Amino acid sequence: MKKLISILFCFGLLSAQSSFVGEQFDRGSINYSDRTIQATGIGFIPENVINAGQARRAALRIAKQDAMRQLIEIVNGVVVTSETTMSNAMFDDVIKSRVQGAIRGARQVGEPRYLSDTSIEVTYEVPMSGISDVITPPTGFLPSLAPGTAPETSETSGPTTSGITGLIIDVRGLGLRPAMSPRILDQNGGVVYGPGNYTREYSIQNGVAGYAKGLDKASADDRVKGNPLVIKGVSASGANKADVVIANADVMKIQSANSAHGVLRDCRVLFVLD
């Protein structure tokens, strides 16, 4: 029985690792799959403690402070757009202060880990939505729809989009890097998908786009599952290689799917990575 449990645990761990999209660090991670940022802090017992209870509380406090420092450092490296990282996006003291405030609101993940050298490890996590809410400007987006209101539709020529539930862009082999606010461009540099195509509310709550490894995982993702339109990307663009260039011939397919079903407005866009 113990052997079976161990096998199932290892299988679950491998499955979680295979679906992870982001960056792993010695003491933290940026996860674009579930849109979270984690950091692990370490606390050592101070020399001037009186008893075991005080020692534990002091070590936990130090570990949390260390985790907050790690979070700030990791958040600074998050890719926001194809030209900007978080460290560049915090261009004034007000934004920087608000981002740090969002980090201070991070929640503890799991229980503290008590190590053999008497130190304590604790992990804290902050959602990308909290960071995105701070750095996303209030204007330049589609207006939010009233609850229960369907997006406007229009008759367009081109490929049929009946029942399209989302948009999948296959970017395998292109070296695309995940980002908080990626764009889709045509081969002339025109923006097919960007802030003017979706609401600020959707982009903050759900992320501008999702990421998955492999077409099967992408097709089963709640963001697009059902009958997604699948397009092959042509190249990655920008200094951070976060934007996707698609063939001009595919632009009409996406515009038709959006006109009929609002796939861009609702951020029902997902990129397939290697």
Is 2 a member of any domain? Answer: no
CA 274 – CA 40 distance, rounded (Å): 28
In order, the DSSP letters of 82-109 are: SS-BHHHH--SHHHHHHHHHHHHT-EEE
Same domain flag for 178 and 120: no
Same domain flag for 125 and 65: yes
84/57: higher pLDDT:
84
Residue 15: pLDDT over 90: no
Report yes or no: 37 and 74 within 8 Å, Cβ to Cβ: yes
CA 171 – CA 274 distance, rounded (Å): 8
Tokens of 222: 């709640």
91/253: higher pLDDT:
253
Residue 68: pLDDT over 90: yes
Is 147 a member of any domain? Answer: no
CA 41 – CA 113 distance, rounded (Å): 11
What is the per-residue pLDDT across 181-192, written as a single tens digit (0 to 9) for each? 999 999 999 999
12-16, 114-118, 123-127, 242-246, range with the lowest pLDDT: 12-16
Instruction: Report how many domains make up the chain.
Output: 2
CA 117 – CA 53 distance, rounded (Å): 17
- Residue 3: what pLDDT? 46
Spatial neighbors of 13 by CB under 8 A, at least 6 apart, are none
Residue 253 sits in which domain range? 167-273
- Residue 147: what pLDDT? 54
Using alpha carbons, select from 92, 102, 114 the residue that is nearest to residue 45.
114
Same domain flag for 171 and 87: no
Same domain flag for 171 and 80: no
What is the per-residue pLDDT across 162-179, written as a single tens digit (0 to 9) for each? 589 999 999 999 999 999
Is 201 a member of any domain? Answer: yes
**If you average pLDDT over every residue of the chain, what do you get?**
87
pTM: 0.83
Same domain flag for 104 and 184: no
Nearest-5° Cα angle at 128, 125 to 133: 125
What is the per-residue pLDDT across 122-136, written as a single tens digit (0 to 9) for each? 999 999 999 999 999
Percent of the chain with pLDDT over 70: 86
Same domain flag for 113 and 198: no
The domain boundary, picked from 118, 135, 152, lies at 135
Is 219 a member of any domain? Answer: yes
